[in-house]
Amino acid sequence: MNNTIILIPSRLSATRLPNKPLLKINNTSIINHVYQKAVSAEIGDTYVATGDNKIYEEVTKNGGKCILTEKKHKTGTDRIFEAFQKLNNKEVEYVINLQGDEPMININDVKNLHKQAISNKSKIATLACEIKNEIMLNKKDIVKVITEEKLSKNSISKAKKFLRKVLKNNQENVYHHIGIYLYKVSILEKFVNLKQTKNEISQKLEQLRAMENNISIDVNLANSSPIGVDTKEDYLEIKKLMEYKN
């Protein structure tokens, strides 16, 4: 059995929606919703990684595990690597980076990603889903991934390119990228020690750092894209959906 841990980076200082990890849905904070879902996957030990005492207190007072990191990091991946180092667990082989602002993530997609990535001996693996309509295709805030082959839940395909720009409808194997990653530990360490590339900084896509340094990224098909909480409107929409389901 491969030893995998899940790390969830979280911070209070999001520019568009400050303090969002602590916002409540059904009397539970967003960060605790994500944490509880991650634990339910039964993949391995799960921790929140944060530089904020308020998040640390919110997670631990509800029985969760949390690692306090430096407050400022360039990316969430840098934050989870610091947390991983603090754990000092030499037996860990893989680390899953799970976004802390997606309380409606389909945890079965994460479990399947883990299964396929381990089977494929992936260096880095991530998720993507079908693009349902032209509106999604043309939205620049939706990150696209082009894969070498058609995606399947039961297999993995190499990513050829990640991009934001508008694409033509006739482009083959274009999917909506979901920012959840599995890293082989040695590759995670290599990745965070690489210099940020110009394209990564300009497009705000840290996966380009891997691609431009010849680190392959495997992609597995997800059922659907989770709704991330980036704005107050996102929060109200997700709150309504989750409270209705409840």
- The CATH number assigned to the domain holding 210 equals 3.90.550.10
Q: Are residues 84 and 170 in the same domain?
A: no
- The span from the CA of 38 to the CA of 8, in Å, is 9
Give the model confidence (pLDDT) of 30-81 as tens digits. 999 999 999 999 999 999 999 999 999 999 999 999 999 999 898 899 999 9
Q: Are residues 94 and 156 in the same domain?
A: no
| In a domain? residue 235 | no
> Comparing 5 with 167, which gets the higher pLDDT?
5
Asked if residue 214 has pLDDT above 60, the reply is yes
Range of the domain at 64: 1-105
Pick the last residue of a domain from 70, 105, 140. Answer: 105
Q: Are residues 92 and 144 in the same domain?
A: no
| In a domain? residue 236 | no
Give the model confidence (pLDDT) of 138-165 as tens digits. 788 889 999 999 999 999 999 999 998 7
Q: Are residues 94 and 177 in the same domain?
A: no
Q: Which residues pair with 146 in a beta bridge?
A: 161, 174
Mean pLDDT of 167-185: 87
Q: Are residues 4 and 40 in the same domain?
A: yes
| In a domain? residue 110 | no
Q: Are residues 4 and 101 in the same domain?
A: yes
| In a domain? residue 210 | yes
| In a domain? residue 143 | yes
| In a domain? residue 162 | yes
* Confidence class for position 170, pLDDT limits 50, 70, 90: low
| In a domain? residue 118 | no
| In a domain? residue 68 | yes
pLDDT of residue 169: 63
* Confidence class for position 211, pLDDT limits 50, 70, 90: very high
Q: What is the pTM of this model?
A: 0.94
pLDDT of residue 2: 63
Asked if residue 1 has pLDDT above 60, the reply is no
pLDDT of residue 54: 97
